[in-house]
Amino acid sequence: MTLVAILSGAGVSTDSGIPDYRGPRGLWRRDPEAEKLATYAYYMADPEIRRRAWRLRRAGEIWNARPNTAHRAVAALDKRPGFAVRVITQNVDGLHQLAGTPERKVLELHGTARTVVCTGCGARTPMADALARVEAGEADPPCETCGGVLKSATVMFGQRLDPGVLAKAVAIAKASEVFIAVGTTLQVQPAASLAGLAAEHGARLIVVNAEPTPYDELAAEIIREPIGTALPKLLARLR
């Protein structure tokens, strides 16, 4: 059984209509102010930032997005005999699961946009419920349990990753025989360091990304082709 770990970044979901952040046409490059919406200190301190964030969530591309060929190729590899697949994703869109990769095999390093969490009491509710409240006129809906500030259950800038999730990701990286970093600039730590960790522990590191990454020199193979065609071809030829 070959353990294949796939670290997926925003580039995997761009063919589904979800823009990336740091790419040539990424959200942060087009609108540097938008980064404040994902920064915990700004979000908690400024009600206007929160109102803008809720408007952006409500209009977000994620709700109409469907898994693309890359997501489906990962799910297909998981069903092939001889492979154990684990997905470590920096994405918060849930598209790997929608494509058919079992939830227990997907580690969401940066959380999920499909759930809301209260910063006060920690209560979790579906994002759809919160967006319905925004639609009904609540510009910055408070927690219905304690009145605290609600945010998406994603890891914002200034917040730590869930230590349990990170520990699992580290263990998978160390144990993997093939580690594929796809659609990620490998610039955001500690997620990016997983690629180096895998290579140090003997994994064959493959980087699939449009632009160079800091870990390219450790890679056994670098692919610059579009992800929607490159990843399915790569996974199909794995032996």
The more confidently predicted of residues 32 and 14 is: 14
Q: Closest Cα to residue 166, out of 95, 224, 108?
A: 108
- pLDDT at res. 34: 74
| 231 has a pLDDT exceeding 80 | yes
Question: Rounded CA gap, 85 and 4, in Å?
Answer: 5
Per-residue pLDDT tens over the stretch 175-204 = 999 999 999 999 988 999 999 999 999 999
Q: Say which of 71, 96, 110, 201 is annotated catalytic.
A: 110
Per-residue pLDDT tens over the stretch 5-21 = 999 999 999 999 987 66
DSSP per-residue string spanning 57-98? HHT-GGGG----HHHHHHHHHHHSTTEEEEEEE---S-HHHH
- pLDDT at res. 25: 53
> By the 8 A CB rule, do 213 and 23 touch?
no
List all residues 6 or more positions away from 79 whose beta carbon is below 8 Å from its beta carbon. Answer: 100
Handedness of CA 52, 57, 61, 67 (dihedral sign): positive
Query: The domain at 20-64+114-154 falls in which architecture?
Result: 2-Layer Sandwich (3.30)
Weakest mean pLDDT among 58-62, 82-86, 182-186:
58-62
Question: Rounded CA gap, 173 and 7, in Å?
Answer: 9
Weakest mean pLDDT among 13-17, 27-31, 214-218, 232-236:
27-31
- Where do we find the tokens 């969530």? 57
Helix (H, G, I), strand (E, B) or coil at 232: helix
List all residues 6 or more positions away from 180 whose beta carbon is below 8 Å from its beta carbon. Answer: 4, 5, 6, 7, 206, 207, 208, 231, 234
In this prediction, residue 31 has a pLDDT band, given cuts at 50, 70 and 90, of low
- pLDDT at res. 32: 61
- pLDDT at res. 188: 86
Q: Closest Cα to residue 3, out of 234, 164, 174?
A: 174
* pTM for this entry: 0.89
| 39 has a pLDDT exceeding 80 | yes
- Where do we find the tokens 């263990």? 171
In this prediction, residue 27 has a pLDDT band, given cuts at 50, 70 and 90, of low
- pLDDT at res. 20: 66
What is the domain partition of the chain in residue ranges?
1-18+67-110+160-239, 20-64+114-154
- pLDDT at res. 236: 96
Is 110 one of the annotated active-site residues of the chain?
yes
What phi and psi values does residue 102 have, to the nearest 5 degrees? -55, 140
> By the 8 A CB rule, do 8 and 89 touch?
yes
The more confidently predicted of residues 60 and 208 is: 208
- pLDDT at res. 158: 92
Per-residue pLDDT tens over the stretch 114-168 = 999 999 999 999 999 999 999 999 999 999 999 999 999 999 999 999 999 999 9
> Would you tell me which CATH number, out of the four given (1.10.3720.10, 3.30.360.10, 3.40.50.1220, 3.40.50.12280), belongs to the domain 1-18+67-110+160-239?
3.40.50.1220
- Average pLDDT over the chain reads 93
The more confidently predicted of residues 18 and 221 is: 221
